[in-house]
Amino acid sequence: MTDLDPEHTVSEPVSIPARTVDGQKPDHPNLPPRLTDIPLTDASVLSAESILHIEEVKLWYGEKQALFDINLEVARHTVMALIGPSGCGKSTLLRCINRMNDLIGSVRIEGRIKVGQDDIYAPDVDVIELRKRMGMVFQKSNPFPKSIYENVAYGLRIQGIKERAVLDEAVERSLIASGLWDEVKDRLQESGLGLSGGQQQRLCIARALAIKPEVLLMDEPCSALDPLATSRIEELIFELKRDFTIVIVTHNMQQAARVSDFTAFFWMGKLIEVGLTEKLFTNPRVRMTEDYISGRFG
């Protein structure tokens, strides 16, 4: 049926030019680049291989329960963001993954956390060995009062590695991976404390990367940094995703939206909702999540 309205301009059927993204033709021309690997359907995302299985985890500080029945899966080579208001348990859960909560005497934990196939709370687990499979970056950068070189090499030295060549290679590799190499390669013997805040945090990231962990745990790594340093570290997380799995705790929702593939929302020790980040931030299933991320409370 032809349209006879002269006012109505008919656009010529034009062929849409084949657009490429980074030299590759995507299947669907308008998908944002980072999602071309992951199909949009939830089912196939869930079948991506999980490296962390958190099952029915409960935690008490003395008499007070802080985590209630947490069930969470983290897929390999993805970034999982844990968001929620202060005191909701996200940092507590993060510290359970590398058993740093063991350092607090009054903590009691039930449930299982599996890294790969191994339950890390089994009675015969060597906590020291477990921590070598995890790298942790803290809220306030905490480099040791040693040289830059010694900071990065620390994790290897305590494992007994002494050969200069091995350490040199590891230091260079880690500093390149954390984007600090070009800035410090001529002053590796200078103290780590002489760097700026953002550089110190990247140094801490390099230090964690040097031991080649499987999972990188980041506890609000950018909260003490200015926006430029923050965005550098967020870029870094994109690149690190290729080789590591990252769990990041953040109270900055924009950061969670920018950086993560999956987001888990916590409230008062309970996991309220978890899902693909773009789903959670455009159309969350739970009203509380919607209210939180829109800033209606918390």
Partner 1 sequence: MAKFNVWWRRGSGFVWFSGATLALSLLMIGGLVGYIAVKGLGFFWPTPLVQAMTPEGPVLGEISSHEKAQGEDAAKLQFHVGNRDVYGQDFRWIPKTALHDFSTPADAVLVERLEYGPFIGRVKSLDQGGQPIAQGEAALAAIGTRLSGAVKLQRTIHRIEKKDVGALNSQIEALRIETHRAELKGADTGPLAARSQQLQASYAAAEARLATLRTEAGAVTVTLSTADGQTKTLPLASIVRIVPANALGVFGKSRIYLSRLWEFLWDDPRESNTEGGIFPAIFGTVMMVLIMSILVVPLGVVASLFMREYAKQGWLLRTLRVAVNNLAGVPSIVFGVFGLGFFVYGVGGSIDKLLFSDKLPTPTYGTGGILWASLTLALLTVPVVIVATEEALASVPRSQREASLALGATKWQTIRNVVLPGAAPGILTGLILAMARGAGEVAPLMLTGVVKLAPSMPLDGSFPFLHLDRKFMHMGFHIYDVGFQSPNSEAAKPMVFMTALLLLLVVVILNLFALRLRSRLRARAGGGGAF
Partner 2 sequence: MTRHFENELRDLKFSLLAMAGQVEEMIALTQQTLQERSNAKAERVSQLDQSVDESELRLDQACIDLLALRAPFASDLRLIASTLKIVPELERIGDHCCNIARRALVLNLQPPVLKGDYLQRLGSDTHSMVRRAVDAFVNGDAAQARAVIQDDDQVDALYMQIYSELLRGMLADPLCIERSSHLIIVIKNWERIADQASNIAEEVLFILEGVNVKHSYLQGPPKS
Our finding on whether 118 is near partner 1 (CB under 8 A) is: no
Question: Residue 193 touches which of partner 2, partner 1, none (CB < 5 to 8 A by kind)?
Answer: partner 1
Site for partner 1, residues 141 to 170, rule: CB under 8 A = 142-146, 154-155, 157-159
Question: Residue 254 touches which of partner 1, partner 2, none (CB < 5 to 8 A by kind)?
Answer: partner 2
Site for partner 2, residues 242 to 271, rule: CB under 8 A = 253-254, 257
Please identify, using beta-carbon distances, which residue of 101 and 263 lies nearer to partner 1. 101
Please identify, using beta-carbon distances, which residue of 214 and 278 lies nearer to partner 2. 278
Our finding on whether 194 is near partner 1 (CB under 8 A) is: yes
DSSP letters of 204-254?
HHHHHHHT--SEEEEESTTTTS-HHHHHHHHHHHHHHTTT-EEEEE-S-HH
Residue from 8, 19, 64, 242 binding partner 2 (CB under 8 A): 8
Question: Residue 8 touches which of partner 2, partner 1, none (CB < 5 to 8 A by kind)?
Answer: partner 2
* Count of chain residues binding partner 1 (CB under 8 A): 30
Question: Residue 70 touches which of partner 2, partner 1, none (CB < 5 to 8 A by kind)?
Answer: none
As a whole number of angstroms, the distance between CA 292 and CA 298 comes to 6
Please identify, using beta-carbon distances, which residue of 178 and 263 lies nearer to partner 1. 178
Q: Taking the complex as a whole, how short is the minimal distance between the CB of residue 108 and partner 2, in angstroms?
A: 35
Please identify, using beta-carbon distances, which residue of 89 and 135 lies nearer to partner 1. 135
Q: Hunting for tokens 């869930």 — which residue is that?
A: 46
**Given the rule CB under 8 A, which of 25-33, 116-124, 139-147, 266-274 is the region that contacts partner 1?**
139-147
Q: Is 116 exposed, middle or buried (0-12, 13-18, 19+ CB in 10 A)?
A: middle
Our finding on whether 61 is near partner 1 (CB under 8 A) is: no
Q: Taking the complex as a whole, how short is the minimal distance between the CB of residue 26 and partner 2, in angstroms?
A: 17
The site for partner 1 (CB under 8 A) is made up of 98, 100, 103, 128-129, 131-132, 134-136, 138, 140, 142-146, 154-155, 157-159, 191-194, 204, 207-208, 211
The site for partner 2 (CB under 8 A) is made up of 3-8, 253-254, 257, 281-284, 289-290, 293-297
